[in-house]
Structure formats: C-alpha cells, structure tokens
C-alpha cells in the first residue's frame, strides 16, 4: 500500500470511472456495516484512494494557503500531488449516492423502523464476522483493546443522543470521526455515526437541507436553506479536519500496533450491535414475537449483503 503522495499508476481510471466508483462507495457508506473502503478494494482503487487521502496534511494546507496569496501557479502542482482530478470525480459520485440513499433511508427509518434497524443489525454483525480473520487476540494488550472497543461502543450506543448530543460541535466531531473509517475496508463511517447516536439525525438533517435547496429553486426561502445547512456544514467541516488528523492517526496506530488497533476497531463493531436493538425499542411499545421475527428476517438479509460483498472482494485485506 502506498503511503506517500498519490500514485496514479495503481489504477488508471478516467473521470467517469472514478465517478461511478464513487457512486458505489457512497451507496455503501450510507448504510452501517458496509464500508466504502471495501468497495474501493473491489473496484481496484483502494491504494490510490489511501495515497490521495494521506497526501493531505496540515503542511499541505499551509502550502496551499501560502500559494493563494503568492505564486498561484504552484496550486496546479499541489492539485496533481493530491490526485485532485481523481478525488473530485470520486467525491462527486460519493455525494450523488449519499444524497440519494440517505433520502431513501430517512423514509425507511420513519415508516419501517423495525425492518430498517434489523437490516442494519445484520450488516453490522456480518461485518464483525468478515473481519474475524484480520487480527489475533492472543496477548493481554490485544484482548484489552478488543474489550475496550466493545465497551466504548456498547455504552455509547445506549440511546439516540447519549454519545455526543445535537450541537454543531457534536456534529463536527461526528464528521471528523466518520471520515476516518473511509480508509478501512470493513469499518463503516455510518456505523460510527450509529455508535455516536448521530446517524438518524444526520440523515434527517441532510434530507431537510436537500428539501430546502429544492424549494429554493422553486421560490422557497433562503433562510430555510441557511437554517438547515448548519448541521451539514458542521459535519463536512469535521470531515475535512478528520481527513487531516484522525485518518492519519488511524494509519499511524495501524502501523505501530496493527493487531491491537484492529482488535479495538472490531470491538467497536461488536459493541455497536446494541444500537439497532435500542433504536427499535424506542420505536415500538414492546418486543413482541412479530417484531422479533420482522427484525430477524431483515437482519438475515443485511448479513447476506455484507457476505456477498466480502465474497466479491475475495476476502478483505487490511494490510
């Protein structure tokens, strides 16, 4: 895997190819349990994506800011160094899919919460199964890391707002954490949002923002767009900061203590299984036999989706 600047020799895809791969990644990232990193692995752009991501750094940002007030011609060099054309096309595809899929999920969470959260449960559970071969818990440190991940996710998944709250600062943190998952096939950014109690809130916020934009095009209020943009902008800003900080920290942790870091990450996945169960409990009066059966069937479907993706990938490799 490339660790330095973006290397386009890996998979030389054009703008359309990058866009379509972005659509597939965005669709995967929109649901907990299926990772956009896995889709990048399947479609042959994983190394190129990681190289482009890790080429972004605070030093690069300072260089860009200096170029904005100095030699702007150097900006083209920076753009090539970060594989900017590839990232723009890929990002456009991811945004297209996320805007589409989150709208559908927002409706599903509202009208079919048991089926939707059951599906999420299956996605998450199968992700933990898929990742079981990626690490060994054969030392006290690794065992402690795995247990720590389970405990953190289990406690944080206790209620829809327990983890971070609903302030712009909380949304910023959620964005910073979620974007770090894009560098790991098998770990979903949406899953981290579920753990943090931000998933349903962010799908609602994004749908409301898109609705306000559509309304503006037909004579709606600018104030509505501004009001609904606050959580979206905070999340995106957090994502940018996460790209420059959290993603690099995850990569450094994997390089220094790969097995322990993976044990912690998979522990997060296992602990997050509490979240869909808690959310269903908040939506229905009681866990009746019918509710349990509905949840279980949806969970099986979700698990089959992840196992099918993993089979297509030929096995996930986090090296």
Provide CB contacts within 8 A for 28, sequence distance 6+: 34, 35, 36, 38, 39, 188, 309
Q: pLDDT truncated to tens, each residue of the chain (319 aa)?
A: 333 344 434 446 788 888 988 888 888 888 887 677 777 777 778 778 877 877 777 677 777 777 666 666 667 777 887 888 898 999 899 889 888 888 888 889 889 999 999 999 998 888 888 777 766 778 899 899 989 989 988 887 775 555 567 788 889 988 888 877 766 656 778 888 887 778 888 888 988 998 898 898 888 889 999 999 999 999 999 988 887 777 677 777 877 888 888 888 888 888 888 888 988 988 899 999 999 999 999 999 999 988 887 776 555 554 5
Long-range pairs, 18-21, Cβ under 8 A, ≥24: 18/45, 18/86, 18/89, 18/90, 18/93, 19/89, 19/90, 19/92, 19/93, 19/96, 20/93, 21/45, 21/90, 21/93
Which of 76, 92, 79 shows the shortest CA–CA distance to 15? Answer: 92
- Rounded to whole angstroms, how far apart are CA atoms 234 and 202? 11
Domain map (residue ranges) of the chain: 99-313
Tokens of 230: 């606050």
- Rounded to whole angstroms, how far apart are CA atoms 107 and 29? 17
Instruction: Check if the beta carbon of residue 34 is closer than 8 Å to that of residue 309.
Output: yes
Statement: the pTM of the whole predicted model exceeds 0.75: no
Tokens of 218: 């037909």
Which of 182, 169, 297 shows the shortest CA–CA distance to 233? Answer: 169
- Rounded to whole angstroms, how far apart are CA atoms 257 and 249? 12
């Amino acid at each position: 895997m490339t660790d330095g600047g973006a290397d386009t020799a890996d998979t030389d895809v054009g703008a359309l190819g990058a866009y379509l791969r972005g659509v597939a990644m965005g669709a995967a990232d929109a649901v907990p349990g299926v990772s956009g990193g896995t889709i990048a692995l399947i479609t042959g752009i994983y190394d190129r994506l990681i190289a482009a991501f890790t080429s972004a750094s605070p030093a690069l940002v300072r260089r860009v800011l200096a170029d904005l007030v100095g030699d702007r011609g150097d900006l083209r060099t920076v753009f090539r160094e970060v594989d900017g054309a590839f990232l723009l096309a890929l990002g456009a595809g991811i945004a297209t899919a996320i805007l589409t899929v989150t709208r559908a999920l927002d409706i599903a969470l509202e009208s079919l919460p048991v089926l939707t959260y059951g599906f999420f449960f299956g996605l998450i559970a199968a992700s933990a199964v898929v990742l079981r071969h990626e690490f060994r818990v054969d030392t006290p440190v690794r065992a402690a890391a795995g247990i720590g991940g389970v405990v953190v996710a289990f406690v944080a998944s206790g209620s829809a707002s327990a983890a971070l709250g609903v302030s712009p600062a909380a949304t910023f943190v959620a964005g910073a954490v979620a974007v770090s998952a894009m560098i790991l096939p098998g770990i979903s950014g949406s899953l981290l949002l579920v753990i943090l109690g931000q998933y349903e809130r962010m799908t609602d916020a994004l749908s409301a923002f898109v609705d306000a934009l559509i309304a503006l095009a037909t004579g709606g209020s600018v104030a509505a767009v501004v009001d609904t943009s606050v959580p979206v902008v905070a999340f995106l800003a957090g994502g940018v900061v996460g790209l420059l900080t959290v993603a690099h920290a995850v990569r450094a942790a994997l390089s220094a203590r790969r097995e322990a870091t993976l044990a912690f990450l998979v522990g997060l996945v296992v602990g997050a299984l509490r979240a869909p169960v808690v959310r269903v409990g908040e939506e229905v009066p009681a866990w009746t036999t019918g509710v349990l059966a509905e949840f279980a069937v949806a969970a099986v479907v979700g698990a089959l989706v992840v196992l099918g993706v993993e089979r297509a990938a030929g096995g996930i490799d986090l090296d």
